[in-house]
Amino acid sequence: MMDLAQGVLAHDTRACARVLRIVDDRLPGYAEVLKTLFPSTGRAFVVGVTGNPGAGKSTLTDRLIQEYRARDAKIGVIAVDPSSPYSGGAILGDRIRMQRHATDPKVFIRSVATRGHLGGLSRSARDMVRVLDAWGADVILVETVGVGQDELEVTRTAHTTLVVMAPGMGDDVQALKAGIMESADVFAVNKADRDGADSTVRDVELMIALGKDTMIKMGKAKGHVVHSETAGLGGAPDANEEIWTPPIFRCVATRGEGVKELVLGLDRHRAWLAGTEAGRARRTERLAEEVREALREALIDAAAHDLRDEMRAAVRDVAEKRVDPYTASEQLVARFRGR
Amino acid sequence: MMDLAQGVLAHDTRACARVLRIVDDRLPGYAEVLKTLFPSTGRAFVVGVTGNPGAGKSTLTDRLIQEYRARDAKIGVIAVDPSSPYSGGAILGDRIRMQRHATDPKVFIRSVATRGHLGGLSRSARDMVRVLDAWGADVILVETVGVGQDELEVTRTAHTTLVVMAPGMGDDVQALKAGIMESADVFAVNKADRDGADSTVRDVELMIALGKDTMIKMGKAKGHVVHSETAGLGGAPDANEEIWTPPIFRCVATRGEGVKELVLGLDRHRAWLAGTEAGRARRTERLAEEVREALREALIDAAAHDLRDEMRAAVRDVAEKRVDPYTASEQLVARFRGR
């Protein structure tokens, strides 16, 4: 197992593929591998690509790969696929297009399926990002299928979130506005040669203006959202010039138009993250989120393992109304803590 | 606080409203109130209403209220609204229609917003179902806005999940098939007077047939899915006649057509849950899920409270690469357990 980790650190693609599988399936020893890789991570730029189905995310991701490859960057791609626990199947669709890069030794494309349990998907994605980072990827693209809660969480594992939109999807945009506003750093209005592109751009501009307004009013400028649990960690100033306003790029991904400009926009956000107090505070906040998430999962795993019998007894007691579920869970926590 | 709980048990509507708010906001004492109410719950029939936006869920819910009221049943409605943590706003739209029942003392309608944290929404919905149950509701309708992961989890707090579809939403149906198949007990094809209704019904029939086939192949007939953590609890037999096949009802909710038949279908599923081994096993499994979820949340709350300073230190250490996040979370768990 440690040979595999060393292989990843030596930038071996085969070792990387095997380790990704081990991490995704959480096979025995996966945590040790991640611990070994961790010190060699933190170099890659991680871009989340999200947006409504049909907006052209996969085609655009394909073009982003091409553009970054033109800079001779090494690329990792994580394609998040929702799949059924019954069928184990995955929606691939347009993603087949991306496969043309699969023979390029400097491009690594891996799918990750939706986990059945809470938080599992973003954890898996985050761990896989680490592996690709240690393998030497300069840029890692994390593409999600939709914009559900799960996917929005996945984008939070990225440094920069690119939200892809397309004309004529107005209603969906409305419905998903809130979640998107929170996570978007850069917007791409794809299919910009179609009717309605101007109106989509205007909608996005309005959304950004409204969102910024609300955030300023609440003293929560993007980038220095102060989370209760990490207040004081960031020390972010209130200087308005530090607020990141998401830029909007018009693209026609099928023809590769506007992609160069889009990548320059992503560069700019990367520089903002590194170069401003607000950007650095956001990175710290994301890290804090990760530690919280890892702790949550470690706690749940340990409890599920150690309290197996007690859980069964508790379910029986609740079913027979000998105890209520709230008291039962308190008792289980006390038991877990050995009290 | 306990006076309020007694008020709910005495079927007082004002007390119910105040307790719902306390539970939704998790104000101090909310757990004690829920513990007090718990022994008086378990009587209500809980129906989850889900489906794609635009399928007509709210209009159908409005008709279901009307139909159950014609039986003189007391009704609780929980409308799950996704909302932004920035705006605190909620999408209401068609739900305004339902409000015509708001003046009926035997109908209680309450919105619940999407929580910012994992699992929070289904927990809130479940707790609110308990309150309405203790208040004396015969039927509780839990309506979700969309069919994302969050909403699917909410439907698992219901006894019976009604999935509402409409003609001409074919693509979405495809994309969401997996999640819907797992949770659907009864289908309503709404707007059945429109073109394409026959084809929607056929699509649903095919989905059911495929799903059933897959489930039988995997030895996982619906209703007695044996979860690893509760295996042996249910003791469900493999008899195929116990498998519930979701019926499909054609409705035109705007005119109230097909609603009576739909309610009879819901009755049938309720009888299946109560009258078969498989149905009872499913109820036990849902209860086990709830205990697991309550334990998860209690663990996370306790850890967030007790490990506040240690968490901050861990984030700093991870940021400075003195420790990896995996080891850090293991150390936090050990600390939590006093080891």
pLDDT of residue B92: 47
Whether residue A8 lies within 8 A of chain B, CB to CB, comes out as: no
Amino acid, single-letter form, for residue A309: D
For A73-82, A93-102, A215-224, B35-44, which range has the lowest pLDDT when averaged over its residues?
A215-224
For A11-15, A30-34, A146-150, which range has the lowest pLDDT when averaged over its residues?
A146-150
Closest by alpha carbon to A7, among A31, A33, A44, A29? A33
CA-CA distance, B335 to A118, in Å (whole number)?
24
Structure tokens at B68: 């159950």
Residue B308 has pLDDT above 60, yes or no: yes
Average pLDDT over residues B35-62: 91
Tell me the chain B residues in contact with residue A26 when contact means C-beta distances shorter than 8 Å.
Answer: none
| Between A21 and B9, the higher pLDDT residue | B9
The reply to whether the predicted model has a pTM over 0.80 is: no
CA-CA distance, B215 to B218, in Å (whole number)?
5
Cite the DSSP H helix spans in chain B.
Answer: 2-9, 13-25, 30-37, 57-70, 95-98, 120-134, 149-155, 170-183, 197-217, 259-275, 277-306, 308-319, 325-336
At residue B163, what are phi and psi to the nearest 5 degrees? -100, 125
pLDDT of residue B216: 55
Please provide the size of chain B in residues.
Answer: 339
Place of tokens 């009802």: B249
Structure tokens at A255: 């023809």
Cβ pair B287:A119 closer than 8 A: no
Structure tokens at B3: 């006076």
Percent residues over pLDDT 90 in chain B: 46
Separation of first and last alpha carbons in chain A: 38
Closest by alpha carbon to B158, among B35, B226, B61? B61
Q: What is the mean pLDDT of chain B?
A: 81
3 state SS for A20-58:
HHHHHCCCCCHHHHHHHHHHHCCCCEEEEEECCCCCCHH
Closest by alpha carbon to B39, among A313, A327, A311, A322? A322
Distance from CA of B172 to the nearest CA of A (A): 9
DSSP A181-243: HHH-SEEEE-STTSTTHHHHHHHHHHHHHHHHHHHHHTT--TT----TTTTTTS-----GGGP
For residue B224, the SS3 value is: coil
Q: pLDDT digit string (tens) for A169-205?
A: 655 555 555 566 678 899 999 999 999 899 889 888 8
Average pLDDT over residues A95-117: 71
Q: What residues contact residue B238 under an 8 Å CB cut-off, 6+ apart? A: B219, B221
The model's confidence at residue A148, banded by pLDDT at 50, 70 and 90, is low
Amino acid, single-letter form, for residue B114: T
Q: Which of B215, B296, B316 sits opposite A300 (nearest CB)?
A: B296
pLDDT of residue A240: 46
Q: pLDDT digit string (tens) for A207-249?
A: 888 776 665 554 444 443 333 333 333 334 444 457 899 999 9
pLDDT of residue A227: 37
Structure ipTM = 0.78
Tell me the chain B residues in contact with residue A179 when contact means C-beta distances shorter than 8 Å.
Answer: 82, 84
Cβ pair A338:B336 closer than 8 A: no
CA-CA distance, B28 to B163, in Å (whole number)?
36
Q: pLDDT digit string (tens) for A33-79?
A: 999 999 999 999 999 998 877 888 889 999 999 999 999 999 999 98
Percent residues over pLDDT 70 in chain B: 77
Tally C-beta pairs within 8 A across A and B: 208
Cβ contact A221:A246 at 8 Å: no
Output Rg (C-alpha) for chain A, integer angstroms.
Answer: 21
User: For the CA atoms of B296, B300, B306, B307, what is the dihedral angle to 10 degrees?
Assistant: 130
Distance from CA of B289 to the nearest CA of A (A): 9
Q: Which of B178, B284, B328 sits opposite A315 (nearest CB)?
A: B284
Tell me the chain B residues in contact with residue A338 when contact means C-beta distances shorter than 8 Å.
Answer: 337-338
CA-CA distance, B178 to A147, in Å (whole number)?
17
Cβ contact B166:B189 at 8 Å: yes
At residue B64, what are phi and psi to the nearest 5 degrees? -65, -40
Structure tokens at B124: 């809130």
CA-CA distance, A223 to A237, in Å (whole number)?
11
pLDDT of residue B220: 47
Cβ pair B329:A85 closer than 8 A: no
Whether residue A216 lies within 8 A of chain B, CB to CB, comes out as: no
Residue A54: closest C-alpha in chain B: B171
CA-CA distance, A239 to B235, in Å (whole number)?
63
pLDDT of residue B80: 80
Q: pLDDT digit string (tens) for B69-125?
A: 999 999 999 988 654 333 333 444 445 556 677 778 899 988 776 554 444 677 788
Whether residue B39 lies within 8 A of chain A, CB to CB, comes out as: yes
Residue A265 has pLDDT above 70, yes or no: yes
CA-CA distance, A96 to B298, in Å (whole number)?
43
Q: pLDDT digit string (tens) for B185-221?
A: 999 999 999 998 998 898 888 888 877 665 555 444 4
CA-CA distance, B311 to A232, in Å (whole number)?
13
The model's confidence at residue A164, banded by pLDDT at 50, 70 and 90, is very high
Tell how strand B160-165 and strand B248-250 pair up. unpaired
Cβ pair B315:A119 closer than 8 A: no
> Which phi-psi region, left, alpha or beta, contains residue A254 (left: φ > 0; alpha: ψ -120 to 50)?
alpha
